[in-house]
């Protein structure tokens, strides 16, 4: 490659690229502006949704006002700190740990004479805020999606090496894959209860993600050109080396795309399970507020929480795009991702 | 004499008209004008009666003249037959007179008939119209006290008042969750819906006044903490069997809940904490009191404990015992797990999954009890065994019930429809108490609840719910509901305490004027008083009609009025009666 920019081609290409990026940002801002304008219009008194959709500013104010602590939730004894150990009261990281697992489900506290959990009336103010609920939900969903992805890819790709795995797992996956996943959600609540959310929420998200990633990983492998595999064989590749050097890297772009789809679904699924009765999490907040919909504050709370998860999903997806693009920059699909 | 009477009636009519013109009040104007119109109609009828009487008198005189002429004619004929020529001439003359008299009698008869027709015409009345109207109504058929509206749909009772139910014609908009009711009315998608009245208190400072109750149907006293069949916890009754008094047994039963999880629907967060009544048996409850909430009647007097006769219950020192409602909350002693009724039923089906539950709906309660769950303690036990106690007073202060919530703007624009819909509620509740008819009505309710909620209620279960869990307020009970001097459940008093509690916990602003706002909110009281007034007026007119010689059309209207009256539609009963007896509607507001 010459260092001379013949006919100013490189500079022009860079200018075009800069222009395209600026335009992308402008389009993004324009899209967000349109969203807020539409929202604002729907919240006007003349709108049929006047009572159901609060103005954006009200929803934002509600969200920020209840993020750290919430007097509304305190009055209703809705909190994010079940069985909070006294030692964990001042450490928010340990509070989140308590919220995720529950004090009585750990080894501590089960023995007679151990300190009792903090009574509801003496819980720290932060336990009544939205923040811990939302953090717990995010952690649960990310853990569930990660576990499901690892499981799904492992089973999917190993089924290429060991066909018997495919013979056993494909019918099972096909059966559950065709059943609407939302139908399974209440069963998880019944099986694992609402007291052990780590099993209910994460279990369902893991299950759903495993199924999706199994199919995506198998399809990704099947979509690898036969010519590439034959080339590898011609070069003396063994099944193991072909799996390691052809299938594994070759499926990453498509698997990554599948992971984005699975994660996008996991946000909704995780929150849905929480709405069904799990006592801590963003979905639980939505559940409580939907029963209070007659109160003036409820539409603001519901819209704010739902919007939060929407924005969260978009932001996480944006971060994923950046990561996947970096990891798969060697491939055409990786280079074009997010453009 | 009759002319004098006619003149007197006309003078009265003019006087009434003059008084109507001279009064500033539009209602009084309307009344006076209507009464004047009625008096004028009565005067017309009296004039027609006079003419008919005169014509009848003339006809009778003509008939007498005819009979006299015919008698003369008969005598003359006898003489003529004897051969007297003079008599023959007299015969011809008598014949002529008799013919003339007959013609006059015929003419008089015709006049009498015309006069009679005029009289009947003047007494002819036409039925007032019951306008055809659409009412946008919704129900949430979860429970007996909400599903009862299915009855008029299936039995075609709405046709009796010319009402078509929309928007899901020919039936109601069925809510799938109770929380949909208020937004549906608030948006203006519907006009009327049966809902939980205290659920609106938290919104009284904002839009609650736009959706007031126009009728109270029942009081829910089925509050209970249920314990699972596989639990080792004992119920209060079991402790009593071991020899404890009820307060001791209740305390022992509730102590088993301290620190435990209790599954309860999220609805409970919007309601007065009825569970407080149970936990008030704990010693700690009274040791932890931080703030007392005013428990006052509508005149601002402190409420005191009353015995079964309604007299103040005195303590050992002979002093009255003020009722103490506090800011304490049961959730400081046990942990609520907020899950809705269907989930509670699902979880309760698995042994060991949950131990204690407070389901919200009576059908859920009944079904769980049928599945072996026992009430650890419930309101019925308290009322039976510990009626004069602070705990039972707290229970009474926290109960509520369902009612017809209506958009205030709709009621103001359509008072006639509001009266008819409330009349329908009273008709259903009365028929539900009729032992000959209630089985069919229970079956209708059980079917719709089973269909919409996936339960398996038997018709008899509905009867049990109405009898023991959800006692209804029929038309007769409504009087005591609003008359504070009668021993009963008084929404005005109970709700006042509940609203004060909302002020204490910050849901409502501290400056909220409880008394004034509640008076405005309880539109059901105004509607009841209007209907009672219509009923009393109808009673008086029925009595008056008994002493009158009614035309056929009048009698028909009175019969119609009877039907409406028997169906608790006092509004149309009075309209029909006034038309029949007074010749037109005279009561303001009835003209629609």
Does residue B45 have a pLDDT over 70?
no
- Could you give the maximum distance between any two Cα atoms of chain A, in Å? 83
**Chain A residues close to B343, C-beta within 8 Å:** 189, 194, 276-277
User: What was the pLDDT predicted at B363?
Assistant: 85
B507 touches chain A (CB under 8 A): yes
B63 touches chain A (CB under 8 A): no
Does residue A117 have a pLDDT over 60?
yes
DSSP assigned state of A6: G
Is A291 within 8 Å of B329 when comparing Cβ atoms? no
DSSP assigned state of B201: G
Identify which has the larger pLDDT, B484 or B287: B287
What CA–CA distance (Å, rounded) separates A284 from B142? Answer: 23
- Nearest CB partner across the interface for B267, out of A116, A291, A295: A291
Distance from CA of A121 to the nearest CA of B (A): 6
What CA–CA distance (Å, rounded) separates B124 from B142? Answer: 50
Q: Which of A188-197, B27-36, B180-189 is predicted least confidently?
A: B27-36
User: What was the pLDDT predicted at B315?
Assistant: 82
Q: Where does B298-340 have alpha helices with state H?
A: none
Distance from CA of B27 to the nearest CA of A (A): 36
What CA–CA distance (Å, rounded) separates B147 from B61? Answer: 71
Is A189 within 8 Å of B353 when comparing Cβ atoms? no
With respect to CATH, is domain B224-291+327-398 assigned 3.40.50.2300? no
User: What was the pLDDT predicted at A111?
Assistant: 56
Distance from CA of A30 to the nearest CA of B (A): 31
User: What was the pLDDT predicted at B542?
Assistant: 95
Residue B74 exposed, middle or buried by CB count within 10 Å (0-12, 13-18, 19+): exposed
User: What was the pLDDT predicted at B360?
Assistant: 82
**Chain A residues close to B405, C-beta within 8 Å:** none
B181 touches chain A (CB under 8 A): yes
> Considering the domain B138-221+401-489 in this protein, what is its CATH number?
3.40.190.10
Interface of A with B (CB under 8 A): 48-52, 71, 75-78, 82, 116, 119-121, 186, 189-190, 193-195, 276-277, 279, 284, 287-288, 290-296
What CA–CA distance (Å, rounded) separates B564 from B577? Answer: 10
Prediction pTM value: 0.73
Q: What is the mean pLDDT of residues B452-480?
A: 89
Distance from CA of A292 to the nearest CA of B (A): 7
Q: What is the mean pLDDT of residues A209-227?
A: 91
Q: What is the mean pLDDT of residues B501-509?
A: 83
pLDDT, tens digit (0-9, with 9 covering 90-100), for B298-320: 677 888 887 766 678 888 888 88
Of the CA atoms within 13 Å of residue B376, those in its CB half-sphere come to 26
Chain A CA closest to residue B185: A294
User: Peptide bond before B170: cis, by omega within 30 degrees of 0?
Assistant: yes
Does residue B23 have a pLDDT over 60?
no
DSSP B45-101: HHHHHHHHHHHHHHHHHHHHHHHHHHHHHHHHHHHHHTT-HHHHHHHHHHHHHHHHH
What CA–CA distance (Å, rounded) separates A15 from A121? Answer: 62
- Nearest CB partner across the interface for B183, out of A52, A279, A288: A52
Identify which has the larger pLDDT, B135 or B498: B135
Identify which has the larger pLDDT, B562 or B116: B562
Is B347 within 8 Å of A51 when comparing Cβ atoms? no
Two tokens, residue B308: 């079964």
Distance from CA of B578 to the nearest CA of A (A): 43
Measure the CA angle with vertex A264, ends A262 and A267; round to 5°.
105
- B21 pLDDT band, cuts 50/70/90, is very low
DSSP A100-163: HH-GGGSSTT-STTSPPPPPGGG--GGGGSHHHHHHHHHHHHHHHHHHHHHHHHHHHHHHHH-H
Mutate to test the interface with B, among A190, A294, A301 (most CBs of B within 10 A): A294
- B141 pLDDT band, cuts 50/70/90, is very high
- Share of residues in chain B with pLDDT > 70 (%): 85
- B20 pLDDT band, cuts 50/70/90, is very low
What CA–CA distance (Å, rounded) separates A288 from A301? Answer: 10
Q: What is the mean pLDDT of residues B541-547?
A: 92
Is B335 within 8 Å of A276 when comparing Cβ atoms? no
Does residue A162 have a pLDDT over 90?
no
- Nearest CB partner across the interface for B186, out of A51, A195, A276: A51
Mutate to test the interface with A, among B331, B345, B358, B521 (most CBs of A within 10 A): B331
Q: Which of A100-109, A188-197, B88-97, B525-534 is predicted least confidently?
A: A100-109
**Ramachandran assignment for B162, one of left (phi > 0), alpha (psi -120 to 50 degrees), beta (any other):** left
Is B199 within 8 Å of A276 when comparing Cβ atoms? no
pLDDT, tens digit (0-9, with 9 covering 90-100), for B392-426: 888 888 888 899 999 999 999 999 999 999 999 99
Is B203 within 8 Å of A193 when comparing Cβ atoms? no
Which of A82-86, A171-175, A258-262, B114-118 has maximum average pLDDT? A258-262
Of the CA atoms within 13 Å of residue B68, those in its CB half-sphere come to 10
Identify which has the larger pLDDT, B13 or A8: A8
First to last CA, chain B: 39
Residue whose entry in the numeric block shows the structure tokens 């994460």: A202
Is B346 within 8 Å of A186 when comparing Cβ atoms? yes
What CA–CA distance (Å, rounded) separates A269 from A284? Answer: 13
- B247 pLDDT band, cuts 50/70/90, is very high
B202 touches chain A (CB under 8 A): yes
What CA–CA distance (Å, rounded) separates A204 from A262? Answer: 12
Two tokens, residue B540: 């008086």
Sorted by sequence, the CB contacts under 8 Å of residue B551 that are 6+ apart come out as: B120, B123, B124, B125
Is B347 within 8 Å of A194 when comparing Cβ atoms? yes
pLDDT, tens digit (0-9, with 9 covering 90-100), for B315-359: 888 888 888 888 888 988 998 999 988 889 888 888 888 999 999
Does residue B576 have a pLDDT over 50?
yes
Chain A, chain B: beta-carbon pairs less than 8 Å apart: 90
* Three-state SS at B481: helix
- Nearest CB partner across the interface for A293, out of B182, B261, B347: B182
pLDDT, tens digit (0-9, with 9 covering 90-100), for A239-283: 889 888 888 888 988 899 999 999 999 999 999 999 988 888 999
Is A296 within 8 Å of B203 when comparing Cβ atoms? yes
Identify which has the larger pLDDT, A87 or A259: A259
Which of A201-205, B44-48, B245-249, B307-311 has maximum average pLDDT? B245-249
**Chain A residues close to B207, C-beta within 8 Å:** 51, 296
Of the CA atoms within 13 Å of residue A144, those in its CB half-sphere come to 33
Q: Which of A4-13, A140-149, A239-248 is predicted least confidently?
A: A4-13
Does residue B145 have a pLDDT over 50?
yes
Please name every residue paired with B404 in a beta bridge, in sequence order, or none if there are none. B194, B215
What CA–CA distance (Å, rounded) separates B527 from B533? Answer: 10
- Share of residues in chain B with pLDDT > 90 (%): 42
First to last CA, chain A: 26
**Chain A residues close to B187, C-beta within 8 Å:** 48-52
Q: What is the mean pLDDT of residues B462-470?
A: 89
Determine which helix (DSSP H) or strand (DSSP E) holds B174, and give its type and residue range.
Answer: strand B173-174
Sorted by sequence, the CB contacts under 8 Å of residue B206 that are 6+ apart come out as: A296
- What separation in angstroms does the CA of A134 have from each of A193, A284, B44, B459, B474? 20, 10, 81, 46, 49
**Alpha-carbon Rg for chain A in angstroms:** 25
What CA–CA distance (Å, rounded) separates B582 from B333? Answer: 66
**Chain B residues close to A186, C-beta within 8 Å:** 346
User: What was the pLDDT predicted at A309?
Assistant: 94
User: What was the pLDDT predicted at B6?
Assistant: 46
Q: Backbone phi, then psi, for B158, in 5-degree steps? A: -65, -30
Identify which has the larger pLDDT, B7 or B518: B518
Alpha carbon B403 to chain centroid, angstroms: 11
Closest Cα partner for A287 from A163, A194, A155, A198? A194
- A40 pLDDT band, cuts 50/70/90, is very high
What CA–CA distance (Å, rounded) separates B201 from B418? Answer: 22
Mutate to test the interface with A, among B266, B271, B327 (most CBs of A within 10 A): B266
B142 touches chain A (CB under 8 A): no
Does residue B473 have a pLDDT over 60?
yes
> What ipTM did this prediction achieve?
0.79
Closest Cα partner for B382 from B396, B372, B370? B396
Residue whose entry in the numeric block shows the structure tokens 């629907």: B265
Which residues between 217 and 236 in chain B have a beta carbon less than 8 angstroms from any beta carbon of chain A?
none
User: What was the pLDDT predicted at A1?
Assistant: 57
pLDDT, tens digit (0-9, with 9 covering 90-100), for B93-105: 878 887 887 888 7
Does residue B237 have a pLDDT over 90?
yes
CB neighbours of residue B260 within 10 Å? 13
What CA–CA distance (Å, rounded) separates B414 from A168? Answer: 68
Q: What is the mean pLDDT of residues B216-238?
A: 93
Does residue A121 have a pLDDT over 80?
no
Q: What is the mean pLDDT of residues A144-154?
A: 94
Q: Are A278 and A100 in contact (CB under 8 A)?
A: no
- Nearest CB partner across the interface for B507, out of A75, A194, A195: A75
User: What was the pLDDT predicted at A109?
Assistant: 47
Which residues between 301 and 360 in chain B have a beta carbon less than 8 angstroms from any beta carbon of chain A?
329, 331-332, 335-340, 343, 346-347, 350, 353
Two tokens, residue B140: 């949430």
- Nearest CB partner across the interface for A290, out of B179, B339, B343: B179
């Amino acid at each position: 490659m010459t260092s001379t920019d013949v006919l100013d081609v490189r500079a022009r290409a860079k200018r075009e690229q800069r222009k395209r990026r600026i335009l992308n940002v402008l389009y993004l801002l324009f899209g967000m502006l349109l969203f807020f304008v539409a929202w604002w219009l729907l919240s006007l008194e003349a709108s049929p949704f006047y009572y159901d959709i609060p103005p954006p500013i009200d929803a934002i104010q509600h969200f920020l006002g209840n993020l750290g602590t919430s007097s509304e939730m305190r009055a209703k004894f809705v909190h994010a700190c079940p069985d909070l150990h006294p030692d964990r009261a001042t450490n928010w990281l340990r509070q989140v740990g308590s919220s995720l697992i529950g004090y009585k489900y750990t080894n501590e506290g089960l023995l007679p004479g151990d300190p009792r959990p903090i009574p509801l009336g003496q819980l720290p103010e932060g336990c009544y805020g939205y923040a811990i609920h939302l953090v717990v939900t995010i952690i649960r969903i990310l853990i569930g999606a990660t576990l499901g992805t690892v499981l799904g890819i492992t089973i999917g790709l190993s089924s290429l090496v060991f066909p018997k795995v495919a013979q056993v797992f494909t019918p099972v996956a096909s059966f559950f894959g065709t059943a609407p996943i939302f139908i399974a959600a209440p069963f998880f609540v019944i099986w694992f209860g609402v007291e052990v959310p780590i099993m209910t929420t994460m279990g369902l998200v893991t299950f759903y993600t495993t199924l999706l990633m199994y199919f995506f990983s198998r399809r990704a492998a099947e979509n690898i050109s036969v010519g590439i595999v034959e080339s590898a064989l011609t070069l003396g590749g063994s099944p193991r080396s072909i799996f390691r050097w052809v299938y594994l890297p070759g499926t990453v772009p498509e698997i990554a795309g599948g992971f984005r789809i699975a994660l996008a679904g996991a946000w909704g699924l995780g929150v849905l399970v929480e709405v069904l009765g799990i006592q801590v999490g963003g979905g639980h907040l939505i559940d409580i507020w939907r029963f209070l919909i007659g109160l003036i504050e409820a539409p603001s709370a519901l819209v704010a929480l739902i919007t939060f998860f929407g924005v969260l999903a978009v932001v996480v997806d944006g971060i994923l795009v950046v990561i996947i693009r970096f990891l798969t920059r060697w491939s055409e699909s990786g280079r074009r991702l997010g453009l | 004499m009759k002319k004098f009477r006619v003149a007197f009636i006309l003078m009265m009519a003019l006087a009434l008209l003059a008084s109507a013109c001279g009064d500033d009040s539009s209602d009084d104007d309307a009344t006076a004008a209507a009464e004047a119109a009625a008096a004028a109609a009565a005067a017309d009828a009296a004039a027609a009666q006079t003419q008919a009487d005169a014509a009848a008198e003339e006809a009778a005189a003509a008939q007498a003249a005819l009979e006299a002429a015919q008698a003369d004619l008969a005598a003359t004929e006898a003489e003529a037959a004897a051969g007297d020529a003079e008599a023959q001439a007299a015969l011809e003359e008598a014949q002529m007179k008799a013919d003339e008299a007959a013609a006059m009698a015929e003419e008089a008869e015709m006049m009498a008939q015309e006069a009679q027709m005029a009289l009947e015409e003047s007494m002819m009345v036409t039925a007032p119209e019951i306008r055809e109207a659409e009412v946008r109504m919704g129900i949430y058929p979860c429970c007996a006290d909400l599903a009862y509206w299915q009855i008029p749909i299936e039995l075609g009772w709405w046709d009796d008042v010319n009402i078509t139910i929309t928007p899901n014609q020919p039936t109601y908009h069925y809510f799938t969750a109770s929380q949909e009711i208020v937004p549906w009315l608030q948006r203006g998608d519907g006009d009327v819906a049966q809902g939980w009245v205290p659920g609106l208190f938290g919104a009284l400072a904002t839009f609650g006044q736009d959706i007031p109750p126009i009728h109270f149907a029942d009081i829910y006293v089925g509050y209970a903490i249920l314990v699972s069949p596989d639990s080792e916890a004992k119920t209060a009754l079991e402790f009593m069997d071991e020899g404890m008094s009820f307060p001791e047994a209740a305390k022992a039963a509730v102590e088993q809940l301290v620190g435990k999880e209790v599954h309860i629907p999220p609805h409970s967060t919007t309601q007065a904490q009825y569970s407080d009544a149970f936990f008030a048996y704990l010693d700690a409850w009274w040791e932890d009191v931080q703030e007392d909430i005013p428990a006052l009647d509508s005149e601002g007097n402190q409420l005191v404990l009353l015995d079964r006769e309604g007299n103040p219950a005195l303590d050992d020192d002979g002093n009255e015992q003020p009722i103490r409602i506090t800011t304490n909350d049961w959730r400081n002693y046990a942990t609520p797990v907020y899950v809705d009724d269907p989930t509670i039923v699902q979880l309760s089906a698995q042994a060991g999954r949950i131990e204690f539950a407070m389901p919200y709906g009576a059908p859920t309660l009944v079904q769980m009890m049928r599945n072996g769950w026992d009430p650890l303690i419930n309101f019925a036990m308290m009322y039976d065994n510990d009626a004069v106690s602070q705990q039972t007073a707290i229970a009474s202060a926290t109960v509520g019930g369902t009612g017809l919530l209506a958009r205030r703007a709709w009621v103001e624009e359509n008072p006639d429809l509001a009266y008819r819909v409330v009349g329908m509620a009273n008709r259903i509740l009365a028929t539900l108490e009729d032992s000959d008819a209630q089985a069919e009505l229970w079956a209708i309710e059980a079917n719709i609840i089973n269909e919409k909620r996936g339960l398996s209620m038997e018709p008899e279960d509905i009867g049990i719910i109405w009898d023991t869990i959800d006692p209804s307020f029929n038309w007769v009970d409504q009087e005591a509901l609003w008359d504070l001097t009668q021993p009963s459940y008084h929404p005005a008093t109970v709700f006042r305490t509940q609203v004060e509690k909302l002020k204490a916990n910050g849901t409502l602003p501290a400056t909220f004027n409880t008394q004034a706002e509640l008076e405005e909110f309880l539109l059901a009281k105004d509607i009841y008083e209007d209907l009672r007034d219509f009923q009393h007026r109808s009673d008086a007119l029925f009595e008056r009609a008994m002493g009158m010689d009614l035309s056929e059309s009048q009698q028909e209207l009175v019969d119609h009025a009877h039907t409406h009256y028997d169906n608790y539609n006092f509004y149309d009963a009075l309209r029909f009666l006034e038309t029949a007896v007074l010749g037109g509607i005279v009561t303001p507001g009835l003209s629609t």
